[in-house]
A and B are shown apart, each in its own frame.
Chain A
Amino acid sequence: MEWVKIFSAILIIGWIIFLWPRAKYWLKNSPKAQEGDWMAAVLPLALVVGFVALLIMLV
């Protein structure tokens, strides 16, 4: 089981290294949100949260 943990850790570190350049780029170059942008994003995400809660209650 320890080997599975070690292998999983290697895999996660690999993903971190893989994603790091894109994360760095977007942290530096993300455009500023315009008025109403966050609301337009938060609304569907809130619906996703509600939907997942509904699925949990259904199972």
Chain B
Amino acid sequence: MNRIDFTATRSIESALSTNKLIKNTYMLLSGTLIWSALLAMVSMAMAPSPMISLGTSLGALVLLWFVLPRTANSASGLWVVFAVTGLLGFGLGPTLNYYIALSNGSQIIATAFGGTGIIFLGLSGYALSTKRDFSFMGGFIFAGMMVVMLASLAGLFLDIPGLHLAISAAVILLMSGFILFETSQMVNGAQTNYIMATVSLYLSILNIFTSLLHLLGALGDE
């Protein structure tokens, strides 16, 4: 009887900590998305050069690489998350200015924004409700990301028609898979750090948004 009580208590504790992790992750994610959108608007108003945008992205990568792993288990990790998402949001400014200058630019941006929100909420809701373990997709997703990165690198220097569109479509699929993967990692207890979970989900949302923007801009009617 005692053993049954102990098992039940442990499973309740585990469910509570998972719920807390999910709640903290989504709260921090909402905050970082709002913060990022604000800095994207500031950047649009300032209209910096694409080099500044690349510089902020490089700064975010340096923080993700060297600072975040050391601070993710402390309160200072929160400042790093806001710094990373702020830099990436600011880096979006020149891209958004490019699209807003198109005749249907504001419609493209609004559609990409709304579409990204629906994709994220739909996939997260699905992963949370099914509680299925999607960790079997890990190898597939990361191998796919490597292929996409190498294709992007090739696309910079080789003029292959349709390559950029194919990369954008692949990124949307891979990041959608990654949302399922990361959410199931949280649900099944493999991911216990809400700061790392937030950054992972933020990066997938950002990549879906920019790729959707690219696809809508290139394939839309006008």
A47 to B126, CA, bound (A): 12
Q: What are the residues of chain B within 8 A of A41 when measuring CB–CB?
A: 134, 137, 177, 180
Contact call B108/A44, Cβ cutoff below 8 A: no
A5 to chain B, nearest CB (A): 5
Contact with B along A4-22 (1 / 0, CB 8 A): 1101111111111011101
The main secondary structure of chain A at its interface with chain B is: helix
Supposing A8-B54, A10-B58 touch, asked if A55 and B115 sit within 8 A by C-beta, the answer is: yes
Contact call B115/A18, Cβ cutoff below 8 A: no
Tell yes or no: B101 within 8 A of A by CB: no
A28 to B143, CA, bound (A): 11
Q: Name which of B140, B145, B149 has the most chain A CB atoms within 10 A of its CB.
A: B149
Please, how many residues of chain A have a CB less than 8 angstroms from a CB on the other chain?
42
- Please pick, from A20, A26, A59, the residue contacting B221 in the complex, using a CB distance under 8 A: A59
Contact call A44/B123, Cβ cutoff below 8 A: yes
B96 to chain A, nearest CB (A): 16
Q: What are the residues of chain A within 8 A of B153 when measuring CB–CB?
A: 9, 12-13, 16
Contact call B51/A45, Cβ cutoff below 8 A: no
- Please pick, from A23, A30, A55, the residue contacting B212 in the complex, using a CB distance under 8 A: A55
Interface residues of A in 13-57 (CB under 8 A from B): 13-16, 18-20, 22-23, 26-34, 37-38, 40-41, 44-45, 47-49, 51-52, 55-56
A16 to chain B, nearest CB (A): 5
B143 to chain A, nearest CB (A): 6
- Please pick, from A16, A23, A38, A56, the residue contacting B215 in the complex, using a CB distance under 8 A: A56
- Chain A contact residues, CB within 8 Å of chain B: 3-5, 7-16, 18-20, 22-23, 26-34, 37-38, 40-41, 44-45, 47-49, 51-52, 55-56, 58-59
Q: A13-B153, A14-B58 are in contact. List 19 more A-B contacts (CB 8 A).
A: A4-B51, A10-B58, A11-B61, A12-B152, A14-B61, A22-B142, A26-B139, A32-B136, A37-B133, A40-B130, A40-B134, A45-B176, A51-B119, A52-B169, A52-B172, A52-B212, A55-B216, A56-B220, A58-B111
23 contacts between A and B (CB under 8 A): A5-B156, A7-B54, A12-B152, A14-B58, A19-B149, A22-B142, A26-B138, A27-B142, A27-B143, A30-B136, A32-B136, A37-B136, A40-B130, A41-B134, A45-B176, A45-B177, A48-B123, A49-B173, A51-B118, A51-B119, A52-B169, A56-B216, A58-B111
